[in-house]
């Protein structure tokens, strides 16, 4: 039975930062001989920290040389005598030429050698754009299948990536920091502890944790508080709750449960099941109407809720298979031509004039199984709708993607972005082929199927200006979302100090009934490959069991008080898997995560397996 103690990334980063600051304070580091620390925060291998002192205050301009001049990454830092400079935009497996230029006129050039690229970072196969148009912007892609989070320049060269499975939506906050899902899995297929607020350097300023975990999307309000998609931790359903959390504490301030406003068994998409009945994949606060607009993939529905009361205002979607009285009261009525409903949509956003934009995946394109479209006959599109709130009507005013047919068909994930009137990004991130033909399975699921060796993945990101393509990127992976952002934000400097662990994982549900078990007097068989990882705020038990075995994890306090946790070994299937990076190669492998909240002192770890009590020889500690 293996055991290891794992530091939280915030703790590990604090120790690493203190170590390089100590080295800096004790050395004589100059412009010509600076201290260089590659990947200083252990999450971003193509970043570095450069430290040196000057005799007088001076601004410093850092230039990371590109493969051609247009690829240079340039940022100027304010005048100081002590310079601690985050460096972004390095190339992998390269001696990167970095130029430091002081406002006094002094210059220095150095080489920063990086290591080889992580093999799971997708290498673009095509990138067509104008370097003048892109400027210092990078295209950021978040991971879904065969991918890691990555940022590429106008050439398609990778200038940033993370080794960690940071997941779902990546957004830049007004303070310049990034907000993205953590890599800390809480349950399959992709639920994680919450969100990291972090720098491009990888430095984590805050982790926001939630009892029900995080998935898909988040939205920062004007006051800095954050809307986060989650679920009830112990409920039989998933992906049907949104919460508002406090920016400084992580405390949950407000909660919306869609089960209170929608029937759960009507309007089913082709991917519906009774557990994942709604599949909420995006959230947007609309200030003008003080409302939340929410995308539910498994009802082919975009819904709008009153922010204050949670009451349902309207529904946009195909009204087939919904109750007639519900349709007449809530569904927006289409007007004008052309018009098309969206199916299994993603990425709802608003334009400044109040229009609604989204990515219409077009999966199945019907409520009736006998009319489901085959992948080869399908299309996906970015679409823009104009809503007449007074008359409860909707009009389609723009679309792109239908004309590209199945080559642009993404049955899951993807998004759109608005960069100005007539200037839109459309990201079709989940394209998949089996033996050269459009796959009927999602790429994330086909990867685990019998035809996985015949699977080809693609992601197409394009940007249009007045209907003309000015940018197109192809990546041989499935990528959840795309977003165009510069590496540096205006006025960026190094921000030092310890990060914060906010919010709570909650108390893990216990099994109240004592299960009779015969003591084996020995450890679990080696075939279980069992291990315990103790983190600062939780305990992870990992092992392999055959399907149907009765398994329970016991944590026994010195007082004899026993905490019992049921471990399901039943076969689990998913009809949606928007991020496949957490998939297990062996379906027998399970993870059980136990929050330390409510646990105290030292506890002995034991396992019951089919009526036999096994020792582990491992002791863990509560809060």
Whether the predicted pLDDT of 571 surpasses 80: no
* pLDDT at residue 448 in the model: 84
DSSP-derived secondary structure for 228-285: EEE--TT-S--S-EEEEE-TTT--EEEEEEGGGTS-TTSS--TT--SSSSS-EEEEEE
For the stretch 26-56, what's the b/e string if a residue is b when 16 or more beta carbons lie within 10 angstroms of its beta carbon? eeebebeebbbbbbbbbbbbbbbbbbbebee
Mean pLDDT across 501-528: 93
d(CA 206, CA 142): 20
| Joined tokens for residue 603 | 């506890």
Are 243 and 308 a contacting pair, CB within 8 Å?
A: no
d(CA 75, CA 64): 9
Whether the predicted pLDDT of 567 surpasses 90: yes
Are 579 and 168 a contacting pair, CB within 8 Å?
A: yes
Residues 6+ apart with CB under 8 A from 165: 143, 148, 183, 581, 582
Indicate the pTM of the whole model.
0.96
Bridge partners (DSSP) listed for residue 314? 304
* pLDDT at residue 228 in the model: 98
- Taken in order 256, 258, 262, 267, the sign of the CA dihedral is positive
Residue length, the chain? Answer: 623
Whether the predicted pLDDT of 596 surpasses 80: yes
Q: What percent of the chain has pLDDT over 90?
A: 91
The pLDDT tens digits of the residues spanning 338-379 come to: 999 999 999 999 999 999 999 999 999 999 999 999 999 999
* pLDDT at residue 450 in the model: 85
* pLDDT at residue 120 in the model: 87
| Joined tokens for residue 201 | 């350097």
The pLDDT confidence band at residue 186, using thresholds 50, 70 and 90, is very high
**Matching residue, tokens 């076969």:** 571
* pLDDT at residue 577 in the model: 83
* pLDDT at residue 374 in the model: 97
The pLDDT confidence band at residue 583, using thresholds 50, 70 and 90, is confident
């Amino acid at each position: 039975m293996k055991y290891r103690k794992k530091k939280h990334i915030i703790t590990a980063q604090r120790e690493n930062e203190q170590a390089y600051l100590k080295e800096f304070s004790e050395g004589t580091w100059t412009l010509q001989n600076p201290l260089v620390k590659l990947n200083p925060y252990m999450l971003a291998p193509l970043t570095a920290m450069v430290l040196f002192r000057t005799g007088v205050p001076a601004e410093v301009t850092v230039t990371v040389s590109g493969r051609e001049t247009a690829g240079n990454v340039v940022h100027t830092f304010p005048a100081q005598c002590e310079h601690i400079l985050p460096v972004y935009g390095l190339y992998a497996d390269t001696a990167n030429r970095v130029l430091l230029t002081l406002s006094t006129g002094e210059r220095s050039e150095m080489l920063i050698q990086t290591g080889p690229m992580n093999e799971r970072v997708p290498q673009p196969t095509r990138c067509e754009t104008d370097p003048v148009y892109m400027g210092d912007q990078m295209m950021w892609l978040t991971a879904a299948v065969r991918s890691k989070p990555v940022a590429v320049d106008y050439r398609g060269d990778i200038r940033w990536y993370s080794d960690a499975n940071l997941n779902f939506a990546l957004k830049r906050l007004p303070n310049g920091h990034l907000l993205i899902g953590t890599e800390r899995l809480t349950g399959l297929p992709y639920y994680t502890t919450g969100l990291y607020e972090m720098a491009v350097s990888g430095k984590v300023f805050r982790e926001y944790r939630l009892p029900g975990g995080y998935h898909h999307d988040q939205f920062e309000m004007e006051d800095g508080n954050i809307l986060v998609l989650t679920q009830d931790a112990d409920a039989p359903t998933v992906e049907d709750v949104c919460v508002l959390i406090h920016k400084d504490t992580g405390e949950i301030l407000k909660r919306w449960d869609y089960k209170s406003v929608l029937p759960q068994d009507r309007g089913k998409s082709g991917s519906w099941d009774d557990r994942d009945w709604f599949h909420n994949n995006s959230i947007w606060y609309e200030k003008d109407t003080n409302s939340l607009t929410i995308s539910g993939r498994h009802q082919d529905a975009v819904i709008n809720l009153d922010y204050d009361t949670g009451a349902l205002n309207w529904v946009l979607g195909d009204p087939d298979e919904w109750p007639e009285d519900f349709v007449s009261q809530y569904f927006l009525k289409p007007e004008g031509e052309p018009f098309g409903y969206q199916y299994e949509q993603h990425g709802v956003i608003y334009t400044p004039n109040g229009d609604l934009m989204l990515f219409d995946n077009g999966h199945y394109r019907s409520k009736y199984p006998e009319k489901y479209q085959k992948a080869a006959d399908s299309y996906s599109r970015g679409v823009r709708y104009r809503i007449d709130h007074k008359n409860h009507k909707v009009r389609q005013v723009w679309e792109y993607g239908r004309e590209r047919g199945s080559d642009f068909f993404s049955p899951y994930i993807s998004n759109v972005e608005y960069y100005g009137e007539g200037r839109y990004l459309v990201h079709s991130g989940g394209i998949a082929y089996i033996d050269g033909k459009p796959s009927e399975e999602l790429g994330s699921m086909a990867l685990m199927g019998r035809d996985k060796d015949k699977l080809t993945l693609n992601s197409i990101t394009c940007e249009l200006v007045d209907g003309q393509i000015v940018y197109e990127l192809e990546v041989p992976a499935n990528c959840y979302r795309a977003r165009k952002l510069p590496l540096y934000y205006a006025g960026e400097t190094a921000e030092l100090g310890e990060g914060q662990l906010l919010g709570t994982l909650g108390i893990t549900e216990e099994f109240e009934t004592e299960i009779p078990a015969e003591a084996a007097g020995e450890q679990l068989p080696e075939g279980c490959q069992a291990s315990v990882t103790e983190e600062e705020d939780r305990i992870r038990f990992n092992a392999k069991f055959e399907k149907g075995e009765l398994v329970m994890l016991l944590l026994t306090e010195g007082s004899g008080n026993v905490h019992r946790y049921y471990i399901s070994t039943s076969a689990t299937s998913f009809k949606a898997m928007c991020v496949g990076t957490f998939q297990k190669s062996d379906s027998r492998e399970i993870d059980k995560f136990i929050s330390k909240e409510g646990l105290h002192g030292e506890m002995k770890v034991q396992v019951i397996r089919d009526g036999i009590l096994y020792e582990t020889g491992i002791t863990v500690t509560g809060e």
